[in-house]
Structure 1
């Protein structure tokens, strides 16, 4: 879900204390990333989006194999005053959202743009993450409430978000909490609450994944600028993700069942690199599917790896 333009509109100015915290973020990426908060895990990988080249995006959109492999759909969504069309692979708790170059407005339309959403599982826990961010020196986390329009022109509250900043080079990272109003709307087609305060990823996503091979995203690797990395690390730390340095330059965050690797690169090299997925059942043989400029390898076993190429020549 791409909501940066609204964020920039509602929160154009950050305080001096936040700027200072962000400027020091590049230092905290290295000095504190081997530590995980003692208060426990609050944030878990929800989904990532990426802008890929036209050839690959078109191949994804028309792939018969992907429709068998995953709960796949091409969907147009309206929310927060914007409309976007994405290509979705949805699992039990996690999903992936892909855009073609030019699909989105402004700099979001450029190849290599990407984003990452991590979310809480219980109502009220986003406030705890916000307090943890403030304890790290992020005095004024940027807050935004996203809505969704189901076609009648009446916006329905969808989820709340927080960010460390409202501007970034090419990678947008945010934390989110689904709202009770969204679950209560029958058009959302979500599941009943499993317990009081249930705003979980599993409740949000449909169970159609059971009809396909793909179960969930277990690892994702995205190349981001040093500036965007420094802005994202405090959010992952506040969520309770276990952080450690990546080989080369970057950070590896273990957020529950999903590992997030963010490599630090120049803007020209930014973008989605690899996605690993668990399967609902083990497969005996290795299958390789070429999809545009990407390669999806499924099996053997209960694992799939999807690798994406860099910028086209």
Structure 2
């Protein structure tokens, strides 16, 4: 739900008020397969990708996806009246957001742009993440509040967020924590807290996933530039992910239920490459669904794999 077009507007406003941007991200890199911190604070919330127009339109009008997942095409109004229309596949705790070329303005709407949202499960954990970032070489992380307008012109606090860099090639990641005001608003259609301080993903998303096949995103693979990857690694490590390097200069981040792989590539090869999903029930047979220039393979077993490697990014 969060796109960099909105982030940039908020950041520029914050800079004008406080002069907050300075120092930035150091040269922190992944080392081995360890995490710098013991407790996992951040978890995969969602990722998004900008696909070729043919694929995005095919996704939007796919009858199969409406059966496969809790699927929606929805327009959201965020901070400052910024709006975006995304195609959403929502699971129990995680979801996927997809755009087509030109759906977003400027740089954010170009082929291969992508993003990653990581969220906390307990209130106040975002503050700890922000402190941990300093240990990872981020001298001045950017903090901001995202709001949501449900249609009455009154912004409702949605979530607090922090990111490590304001400049990017094609990819950005941020940490977020849902606000109590959002959960308290009946229009959010969220669930009651399961325990004190519960701001988790399962509470945020509806239980409509139960009537479909898709349960959750278990793995995501993104191709990003070296610069964007360098800005992302400190956030992953501050959140408690175990980050290890892989052949070719990429990294894999594990822990928290969803594996996130980044391949280091030139800008023209950047983009969302693959998403693995768990299913609510095992399937006996294998189903292959061609959606635009992407391929979704569902089953056999309790797994689905959606590849976007041929969506025009290569």
TM-score range, shorter chain: over 0.9
Counterpart selection for 2:23 from 11, 14, 17: 17
Shift of 1:94: 0.1
Residue 37 of structure 2 contacts residue 238 of structure 2 at CA under 8 Å; is this kept in 1? no
Residue 48 of structure 1 contacts residue 97 of structure 1 at CA under 8 Å; is this kept in 2? yes
| Residue 294 in structure 1 maps to residue 294 in structure 2 | yes
**Closer, same or farther: CA 183–242 of 1 in aligned 2, 3 Å:** same
Task: Tell me the SS of whatever aligns to 1:17.
Answer: coil
Aligned position for 1:48: 47
For each residue in 1:222-243, what CA deviation from the matched residue of structure 2 results, as whole angstroms up to 9, or x when unmatched? Answer: 1001000000000000000011
| Residue 217 in structure 1 maps to residue 227 in structure 2 | no
- Identify unmatched segments of 5+ residues in structure 2: none
Aligned length: 306
Give the whole-Å Cα distance in 2 for the aligned partners of 1:48 and 1:16. 27
| Residue 75 in structure 1 maps to residue 74 in structure 2 | yes
Give the whole-Å Cα distance in 2 for the aligned partners of 1:268 and 1:39. 37
Aligned position for 1:247: 247
Residue 14 of structure 1 contacts residue 165 of structure 1 at CA under 8 Å; is this kept in 2? no
Shift of 1:248: 1.9
Shift of 1:6: 2.1
**Closer, same or farther: CA 246–64 of 1 in aligned 2, 3 Å:** same
Give the whole-Å Cα distance in 2 for the aligned partners of 1:246 and 1:218. 19
Residue 43 of structure 1 contacts residue 255 of structure 1 at CA under 8 Å; is this kept in 2? no
Task: Tell me the SS of whatever aligns to 2:260.
Answer: strand
Shift of 1:8: 3.3
Write out aligned runs for 1:72-221 (5 A). Answer: 72-81=71-80, 82-221=82-221
| Residue 311 in structure 1 maps to residue 274 in structure 2 | no
Shift of 1:246: 2.2
Give the whole-Å Cα distance in 1 for the aligned partners of 2:124 and 2:313. 43
Aligned position for 1:60: 59
**Closer, same or farther: CA 226–101 of 1 in aligned 2, 3 Å:** same
| Residue 8 in structure 1 maps to residue 11 in structure 2 | yes
Normalized against structure 1, the TM-score is what?
Answer: 0.95
Residue 94 of structure 2 contacts residue 217 of structure 2 at CA under 8 Å; is this kept in 1? yes
Give the whole-Å Cα distance in 2 for the aligned partners of 1:255 and 1:117. 15
Shift of 1:37: 2.7
Shift of 1:245: 1.1
Shift of 1:14: 5.6
Task: Tell me the SS of whatever aligns to 1:273.
Answer: strand
Task: Tell me the SS of whatever aligns to 1:183.
Answer: helix
Bigger mean CA deviation after superposition, 231-240 or 33-42: 33-42
Supply the RMSD in Å over aligned alpha carbons. Answer: 1.4
Task: Tell me the SS of whatever aligns to 2:56.
Answer: helix
Bigger mean CA deviation after superposition, 281-290 or 245-254: 245-254
Task: Tell me the SS of whatever aligns to 2:23.
Answer: helix
